[in-house]
Amino acid sequence: MITVENLTRTYGGFRAVDDVSFTARAGRVTGFLGPNGAGKSTTMRIMVGLTPPTSGTALIDGRPFAELPNPGLDVGVLLDASAQHAGRTGREILAVAARTMGLPKMRVEEMLRRVSLTDAEADRRVRNYSLGMRQRLGIAAALLGDPAVLILDEPANGLDPAGIRWMRDLLRDYADEGGTVLLSSHLLHEIEVVADDLVVIGNGRIVAQGTKEELLAAAGTLVRTRDVAGLTRALSAAGIASSITGDGAVRTDADAEQVGLLAMDARVPLTELRAADGAGLEEMFLELTAESQREGNTEGVAA
């Protein structure tokens, strides 16, 4: 289990992470979502001891990462697949990690098979790997010590559709066997498919958290009409806030029956009226993080 309590990280006068608290539970996949610069990467770096917190705690099964006697046996980490030693082969990188953790050599071969890296690929220098191959190698390194916790930042980058499906199945099986998975990804559909719980961060603060079902069910009502202006006027007159989604639908927190009655009274014909949970994670994510969306921003020191 991962427990984050009142975590804060400041850089000068800027709060990259601002009083963040959440729990990633054993036996479940927790999706950690937020736009670029929201604080995801900084939070994850604090979890694994790469960045010190200004205040608050991040614990792995009740202990800070720095206090784990052999961290690779407790937590598997993949934060940046491109950070692997480019001059070593994939097999060498895993062999070094195995020796560091006191694991037998056979464990390296088991992991290479598990992530579907062939013997020829394993003996190739990492500088010649594709991004997808680097991701597979990084996952193999994370799984090497058979840890109870996985912390993965964008692990599906560079994977083709078959690789993404493989990744999804691997993480689902890992959690079903009792493991804790914290997964950050910009591939919202994949998060929606595999995650049990969601934590959404924006501008360094948690904007929503809960089970996937709870958050999607709370997403309100989605409406489509050719008379968007007429519908939004009717909603506004009734004191109901609404917003326009990227594809022209109207979203509101009011229930579907109320919206339908208002549209009928205003003589606005509707082409679609339904609970917004069917709209999926992407629309919920964009609505929750609307104030922290910054096009072109990348997560760096203050991510």
For the segment 149-170, the average pLDDT, to the nearest whole number, is 89
In this structure, what token pair is assigned to residue 75?
A: 């937590």
What is the C-alpha end-to-end distance of the chain, expressed in Å?
23
Q: Please list the residues that pair with 78 across neighbouring strands.
A: 152
Residues of CATH 3.30.70 domain(s) within the chain? Answer: 220-279
Cβ-Cβ contacts under 8 Å for 14 (sequence gap 6 or more): 302
Residues of CATH 3.40.50.300 domain(s) within the chain? Answer: 2-209
- For domain 220-279, the CATH class is alpha beta
Q: Give residue 219's pLDDT.
A: 62
Distance, in Å, from the CA atom of 136 to the CA atom of 146, rounded to the nearest integer, reads: 16
Q: Give residue 277's pLDDT.
A: 56
Q: Give residue 302's pLDDT.
A: 42
- For domain 2-209, the CATH class is alpha beta
CA distances from 119 to 27, 113, 146, 183 (A): 32, 9, 22, 28
Inter-helix orientation angle 131-143/106-114, to 10°: 130
Distance, in Å, from the CA atom of 90 to the CA atom of 119, rounded to the nearest integer, reads: 10
Question: Residue 38's pLDDT band (boundaries 50, 70, 90)?
Answer: confident
| Chain segment 203-255, per-residue pLDDT in tens | 899 988 988 877 776 667 889 999 999 999 999 999 998 888 777 888 887 88
CA distances from 40 to 92, 298, 300 (A): 31, 11, 10
In this structure, what token pair is assigned to residue 42?
A: 């900084």
